[in-house]
Structure 1
Amino acid sequence: MSDALPPGWAKEKLGEIVEVRDFEREPINSSERSRRIEGKPQAELFPYYGATGQVGWIDDYRSEGEQVLLGEDGAPFLDQHRDKAYMVNGRYWVNNHAHVLRGLEGALSNRFLVHQLNLTDYHDFVTGSTRLKLTSAAMKKIPLLVPPYAEQVRIVEKLEELLSDLDAGVAELKAAQRKLAKYRQSLLKAAVDGALTADWRAAHGAPEETGAELLQRILTERRARWEQKQLARFAEQGKTPLKGWQAKYPEPTAADLTDLPPLPEGWVWASVEQLSIAQKYGSSAKTNEDSSGVPVLRMGNIQDGEIDCESLKYLPVDHSEFPELLLEDGDLLFNRTNSPELVGKTAVYRSQMSPCSYASYLIAVKLSPWCVPELVAAFINSAYGRRWVKSVATQQVGQANVNGTKLAALAVPLAPFVEQAKIAAVLSSQRQESAQQREAILRGLKQASAQRKNILKAAFAGQLVPQDPHEEPARKLLVRIRAEGAENAKQPKPRKATKPKKEIAAMVTQLIDVLTEAGDWVSAQEAFRRCGVADGALTDRIEELYAELRELDKAGILAVETVTDAQGRKLHDNLKLLVD
């Protein structure tokens, strides 16, 4: 916000131009709210608001009318792309995580205020490290720009027109983003259940080597590698192999075929351990920002089944765990610990950076050269794999874990090698197209965000709508409003007229007589009419009657039934006497 103000504008601290109504706030925990609303119809409930929006419902209200809620804590104060304030109206309840604000009547529009608060830079006003807080004292020091009131109205109308068009475009981009994510999942599913290459199989006929035959060959090579290592160890130690040493070969865990879906002809289920040459956990050594070292992939570097080379950390080139923990082309990276939603995400390292290592929350699996790692990754990232992760993950303090033993036992589909290559090629092509579409969507969202910011900046620089030199300047308006307020404060406050308690009691008695005579449900409006309360009666009189009715309801003397329409909106109340 520039220091050079447009003609007729003023700059004021928030506390001077906004009514802070935090006295209306009251927190109620979720269990208490649940108890209070249990069994009550939706029409009798009121929104319960927090730092960034509605967080539930409650059976009463403490605030009423149009106001602005600004987060006190828990709001994204330093994220320029997210809102910190929002409008509310009607009857509602606010907890202690949001400030309740109302623009000075006749001087500051609430709609103008909420847009300005969402453009404000909060760096100098919030405190805290993990959970930022905007205290009332700090909030009142926030500078606000105040145009003439009529200009505020024009700005908001134009602003909301432009932002509405922009939001519609953003909604379309996000819908395309969701559609792309669904397409990715359907592609993974088709890849691992054989649907992706169904036509190819039909055209090429039976393979020279089936998946079962390929698995047997992989297992034979696996045993041969173990025997070669054992013989090399005997030779290194200068020992003659003992009789029967081959019998000590540790057989890999076979795939558990329970509840597994059928596979195409020629495919077979195999465990990850059967297909593996090696499996290792990553390094737990402390990394640094020195990019002259070896990059270390962490769980955040696996995104949508791909390796993301942004936000890297490093270990020194001469780190003691190297070269043992350096990745090799084709290594499968499995995220063993993360949130329940993200644990198990998997990608294949394809020498995006070399040399490269990986952190302890990842497991690197080196697969047989006859098993294409992209297909194993596709299975783990598919809906099939996500169900498996959910079934085997253990939970600890908000984190989920799938260890190496469970990963080794995972059953994955193994197709004939030539078909694996075909699937991998189709997946690669489709992923490239999807990546291009995803990048186009992200560019569109970034452009929309930048455009939104530019529109807001123009609005609060006086460049969005023309100024009218004949309108009362904001400074003059504020002086006049404050003078009027000071003058009104000197005047004695009129005493609020109240109905004598005896009169209300008499009306309640008459109401009971009406309900006794009716003997059945009667609309509250009709019952009040028969008691002499006309449609044009004062609101406070009706409220006093309703207060008495609530007491009678609690005492079991009468029942109050709310009648709603098909959308759950309240139409009216019915009354019925329960005792004679």
Structure 2
Amino acid sequence: MSMEAPANWLPASFDDVFAQISTSGKKVKTADVLVKGKFPVVDQGRKFITGYLDDAHLVVADDKPLIIFGDHTREVKWINFSFIPGADGVQVLKPHPEMDGRFLYFFLRNLPIESKGYARHFKIVKDATYLVPPLAEQTRIAAKLDELLAQVDTLKARIDGIPALLKRFRQSVLAAAVSGRLTEEWRAQHPGEIDQEELIQARRLTLGSKESSCTAPGGICDGPAEIPGGWIGCEFDLLCEIKHGYAFESEFFSDSGPIVLTPGNFTESGLLDFKKKRVVRLEGEFEQKWVLNNGDILVVMTDLSPKKLILGKAVCLTSNDVVLHNQRIGKVVPFSKQVSKDFLRLALLAPKTKQIVDETATGTVVQHTSPKKILAIPTLLPPLAEQTEIVRRVEQLFSFADQLENKVNSAKIRIDHLTQSILAKAFRGELVPQDPNDEHASLLLERIKAQRAAAPKAKRGRKASA
């Protein structure tokens, strides 16, 4: 390995600075660890401690500190406590007592090791050239890195907490929007009313003789909360219908044709992801019946995601392609011109609505809801002008949150680069000043080599005779 370094830093081999600690007969599988126990189990994964066990016979017994290198993962861990090693891939290294162990830990973190997937990487560590400064300088470098990287970690922790704050902010905005708090002052200056009879009539004209899915068909009710002036309380059943998509069977799918939206295209952020798109070959009137339009509001009826976060998620379609939807996606269609599709989407995304969707969902591994269940959820409806104002304000506030989130993501990247920049600077000899009074590194390496030469050679066991 080639590194820029001061002239008084000398090269050394792996065996000069490290000894390997055997873990034979001590490694445990992740499946065997416990949530609590006397001794922590440390493996090569990103998580620092995998679990715990009480078996003292499995503990790696040696002077501390030690360093773990993940043969497959390239993870480097500083160990200054008694531990049990995890399964395959854990390489336990003991720094030479003449070296600063913390310096070597940071050196390994800075070692450029290109990922080979799940292949082994330890050979690169063993074949590397280790640049050795005077011991006093090693200690100064390690102390400075501890100080600077602790500050970076603090900054990173604060940055990592911002997405959760933004999520809560968006939820608060939605709650304020659908309760009337967001436009309270605006409403005082722009009073309005809803033609309730027109709403009921529009619903009847649309549904005709179709059986209602609502427990109180087309009724006006108290709603989920105190009703602001000019608003009405009702169930979604009065405002819209939800139309299922088509249950496309295998013979419909093709290499080219219209895109079919499925729950897999929906994201928690409220966007549609077309990377994993499926297409079908359709013809004539059948195809046109299921084609969606830009601006259509779609809602997820079946959640296949591991975290169960998109059930009931309402998304506005924006696509120039021909798009259809399958039976697990509902299309939200307002009955009346007094109801804005964009406001309906906000009402469906509101925390209270999502809570009821989750509470009434069925299934364990895969969760389901239905148009009937969603349409029976109580909600509030403001006059159309106020709906428009609410949508405008929510979009403005969400745009602000999106901009901040983009800045946070950029900051995360810069912080990750900052850690590597600090490490690189340290091992170019630029982080702390050199001191001409330090003992020269050559004397340190001479002592290490002399100790290695004087150490008893490990005996090799004889092979059993045939």
**TM-score, normalised relative to structure 2:** 0.75
Q: Which residue of 2 aligns with 1:180?
A: 166
Match for 2:85: what amino acid?
A: V
Q: What is the distance in 1 between the residues matched to 2:366 and 2:16?
A: 46
Say if 1:9 and 1:473, in contact at 8 Å, map to a contact too. Answer: no
Q: Offset at 1:222? A: 1.4
Q: What is the distance in 1 between the residues matched to 2:458 and 2:149?
A: 44
Q: CA distance change for structure 1 residues 414 and 372 in 2, over 3 Å: closer, same or farther?
A: farther
Q: What is the distance in 2 between the residues matched to 1:259 and 1:59?
A: 59
Say if 1:296 and 1:313, in contact at 8 Å, map to a contact too. Answer: no
Q: Offset at 1:53? A: 1.2
1:104 paired residue among 81, 95, 104 = 95
2:456 is paired with a residue whose SS is helix
Q: CA distance change for structure 1 residues 124 and 491 in 2, over 3 Å: closer, same or farther?
A: closer
* Superposed counterparts of 1:370-389, under 5 Å: 370-389=338-357
Q: Which residue of 2 aligns with 1:332?
A: 297
Q: Which residue of 1 aligns with 2:427?
A: 460
Match for 1:488: what amino acid?
A: A
Match for 2:210: what amino acid?
A: P
1:484 is paired with a residue whose SS is helix
Q: Offset at 1:477? A: 4.5
Q: Which residue of 2 aligns with 1:223?
A: 207
* Superposed counterparts of 1:417-432, under 5 Å: 417-418=383-384, 419-432=386-399
1:196 is paired with a residue whose SS is coil
Q: Offset at 1:220? A: 2.5
Q: Which residue of 2 aligns with 1:168?
A: 154
Q: What is the distance in 2 between the residues matched to 1:97 and 1:410?
A: 54
Q: How many residue pairs were aligned?
A: 437
User: Greater CA deviation, 318-327 or 365-374?
Assistant: 318-327
Q: CA distance change for structure 1 residues 146 and 394 in 2, over 3 Å: closer, same or farther?
A: farther
Q: Which residue of 2 aligns with 1:251?
A: 211
Q: What is the distance in 2 between the residues matched to 1:478 and 1:402?
A: 68
Say if 2:5 and 2:427, in contact at 8 Å, map to a contact too. Answer: no
1:155-194 deviation digits (Å, cap 9, x = unpaired): 3222232222323332333333332222111112222333
Q: Which residue of 2 aligns with 1:231?
A: none
Tell me, yes or no, if structure 1 residue 95 matches structure 2 residue 58.
no
1:234-275 deviation digits (Å, cap 9, x = unpaired): xxxxxxxxxxxxxxx222300579997335153223246961
Whose RCO is larger (CA < 8 A, sep 6+)?
Answer: 2
1:339 is paired with a residue whose SS is coil
Q: What is the distance in 2 between the residues matched to 1:432 and 1:412?
A: 28
Q: Which residue of 1 aligns with 2:271?
A: 307
Unaligned runs of 5+ in 2: 460-466
* Superposed counterparts of 1:135-534, under 5 Å: 138=123, 141=126, 143=128, 145-148=130-133, 150=135, 151-205=137-191, 207-209=192-194, 212-213=196-197, 215-223=199-207, 249-255=209-215, 261-264=224-227, 266-271=231-236, 275-276=240-241, 278-280=243-245, 302-307=266-271, 312-313=275-276, 326-335=291-300, 336=302, 337-344=304-311, 346-351=313-318, 353-355=319-321, 357=323, 363-368=329-334, 370-395=338-363, 399-405=365-371, 408-409=374-375, 411-418=377-384, 419-467=386-434, 477-478=444-445, 480-489=447-456
Q: Offset at 1:122? A: 4.8
Say if 1:334 and 1:363, in contact at 8 Å, map to a contact too. Answer: yes
Q: What is the distance in 1 between the residues matched to 2:23 and 2:89?
A: 8
Say if 1:333 and 1:362, in contact at 8 Å, map to a contact too. Answer: no
Say if 1:255 and 1:410, in contact at 8 Å, map to a contact too. Answer: yes
2:235 is paired with a residue whose SS is strand
Q: What is the distance in 2 between the residues matched to 1:116 and 1:307?
A: 43
User: Greater CA deviation, 14-23 or 48-57?
Assistant: 14-23
Q: What is the distance in 1 between the residues matched to 2:127 and 2:290?
A: 52
Tell me, yes or no, if structure 1 residue 48 matches structure 2 residue 41.
yes
Q: What is the distance in 1 between the residues matched to 2:254 and 2:27?
A: 45
Q: Offset at 1:424? A: 1.3
Q: Offset at 1:85? A: 2.3
Q: What is the distance in 2 between the residues matched to 1:467 and 1:394?
A: 68
1:195 is paired with a residue whose SS is coil
Q: What is the distance in 2 between the residues matched to 1:20 and 1:139?
A: 18
Say if 2:268 and 2:309, in contact at 8 Å, map to a contact too. Answer: no
Q: What is the distance in 1 between the residues matched to 2:395 and 2:271?
A: 14
Say if 1:295 and 1:355, in contact at 8 Å, map to a contact too. Answer: yes
Q: What is the distance in 1 between the residues matched to 2:162 and 2:324?
A: 33
Q: What is the distance in 1 between the residues matched to 2:139 and 2:326?
A: 57
Say if 1:330 and 1:366, in contact at 8 Å, map to a contact too. Answer: no
1:180 is paired with a residue whose SS is helix
Q: What is the distance in 2 between the residues matched to 1:125 and 1:18?
A: 25
User: Greater CA deviation, 477-486 or 277-286?
Assistant: 277-286
User: Greater CA deviation, 443-452 or 364-373?
Assistant: 364-373
Q: Offset at 1:406? A: 5.8
Q: Offset at 1:354? A: 1.0
User: Greater CA deviation, 452-461 or 360-369?
Assistant: 360-369
Q: Offset at 1:318? A: 7.1
Q: What is the distance in 2 between the residues matched to 1:296 and 1:456?
A: 49
Match for 2:11: what amino acid?
A: A
1:473-498 deviation digits (Å, cap 9, x = unpaired): 76874564243123131699xxxxxx
Q: What is the distance in 2 between the residues matched to 1:323 and 1:121?
A: 56
2:130 is paired with a residue whose SS is strand
Q: What is the distance in 2 between the residues matched to 1:434 and 1:300?
A: 25
Q: Which residue of 2 aligns with 1:522?
A: none
Q: What is the distance in 2 between the residues matched to 1:69 and 1:460?
A: 20
1:114-133 deviation digits (Å, cap 9, x = unpaired): 33444455545543xxxxx6
Say if 1:191 and 1:197, in contact at 8 Å, map to a contact too. Answer: yes
1:90 is paired with a residue whose SS is coil
1:308-333 deviation digits (Å, cap 9, x = unpaired): 66x73556797668555543122223
**TM-score, normalised relative to structure 1:** 0.62
Q: What is the distance in 2 between the residues matched to 1:259 and 1:32?
A: 54
Q: What is the distance in 1 between the residues matched to 2:98 and 2:253?
A: 56
Q: What is the distance in 1 between the residues matched to 2:340 and 2:16?
A: 65
Unaligned runs of 5+ in 1: 38-44, 78-83, 128-132, 225-248, 493-580
Q: Percent identity?
A: 22
Q: Offset at 1:47? A: 3.0
* Superposed counterparts of 1:107-122, under 5 Å: 108-120=99-111, 122=113
